[in-house]
Amino acid sequence: MKTRVLLTTSIALMLGLASVASAQLRAGSPEEAEYLKIEAEKNSDARLALLLDFEKKFASINPKVMATIFLMTMDLYSEKDDKPKIAEYGDKAITKDPENVSALLRVSLNYARERTNLPKAEEYAEKAKTLLAAMRNQPIPTGQTEAQWKQWLDANATSAEQYAAYAKSLQR
């Protein structure tokens, strides 16, 4: 039951990721063209190949964009149940953007589910809680309504609370 609740609430983590990355790319740039190809690709294997190619070509671009690329890669490795790659790309996302709430929560959940690094799982969930609390005082992001922003904050705050509690319970 607890796992189902955790997985259900994690859906909120993906809200806005694509728009954030897209907004960080220069219009008409090679990076944007490659990113749009990734977004349009429906085949998981082809999409993974595009993501890995993007990483090689554009590793030094905006860290927020690369964190999104790494999270997308993490998702595809998750579909393949490739646990070492899931962890690798989750860690890469946090390294690129240590205040990325989605990355913190997804890596926290992965560590807890796999029981590989429970203290880090709890730490990341707690950090996400702190960041989300601070974000409530920030202006609403462009392109979102107040209701959408509040929904995103609330859903992620709920996830952070649950993930921290889950990781803590597993450490007992």
- In the chain the first and final C-alpha atoms are separated, in Å, by 19
Q: What is the pLDDT along the chain (172 residues), one digit of tens a residue?
A: 444 444 444 434 444 444 456 557 888 889 999 999 999 999 999 999 999 999 999 988 889 999 999 999 999 999 999 989 999 999 999 999 999 999 999 999 999 999 989 999 999 999 999 999 999 999 998 888 999 999 999 999 999 999 999 999 998 8
Residue whose pair of structure tokens reads 């997985």 in the numeric block: 7
Say whether pTM exceeds 0.95: no
Domains of the chain, earliest start first? 2-6+16-170 (1.25.40.10)
Cβ atoms 105, 163 nearer than 8 A: yes
The Cα 37–Cα 57 span in angstroms is 14
